[in-house]
């Protein structure tokens, strides 16, 4: 269990490239997700809560119109397989 997952995975932003910071972010989120499931939180609740948190942050940073535009493009990205982790490429 990762009680201190944020502290264990903290980093100095200036020391990392964008790709490294993105990988660190996903690692931290995956660790938090694992910890939440270990505490009995169901995946569906985590999904909905994560989407709410992400969209709320986007609205705060960029506004409602830009966030809505971003969301409109998501269905095409899903259809194109951008979020499918394990797929066979032809």
Residue 86 has a pLDDT of 80
Q: What is the pLDDT of residue 11?
A: 53
The full DSSP string for 49-87 is HHHHHHHHHHHHHH-HHHHHHHHHHHHHHHHTTTT-SS-
Domain regions of the chain by residue span:
1-41, 42-90
Per the listing, tokens 């960029």 go with 62
Please list the pLDDT of the chain residue by residue as tens digits (90 residues). 344 434 445 555 566 689 999 999 999 999 999 999 999 999 999 999 999 999 999 999 999 999 999 999 999 999 999 989 887 666
Instruction: Give the pLDDT of residue 1.
Output: 39
Per-residue pLDDT at 16: 64
């Amino acid at each position: 269990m990762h009680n201190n997952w944020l502290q264990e995975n903290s980093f100095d932003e200036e020391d990392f490239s964008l790709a490294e910071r993105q990988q660190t972010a996903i690692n931290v989120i995956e660790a938090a997700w694992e910890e939440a499931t270990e505490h009995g939180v169901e995946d569906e609740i985590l999904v909905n809560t994560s989407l709410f948190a992400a969209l709320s942050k986007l609205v705060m940073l960029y506004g409602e119109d830009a966030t809505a535009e971003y969301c409109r493009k998501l269905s095409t990205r899903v259809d194109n397989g951008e979020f499918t982790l394990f797929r066979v490429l032809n």
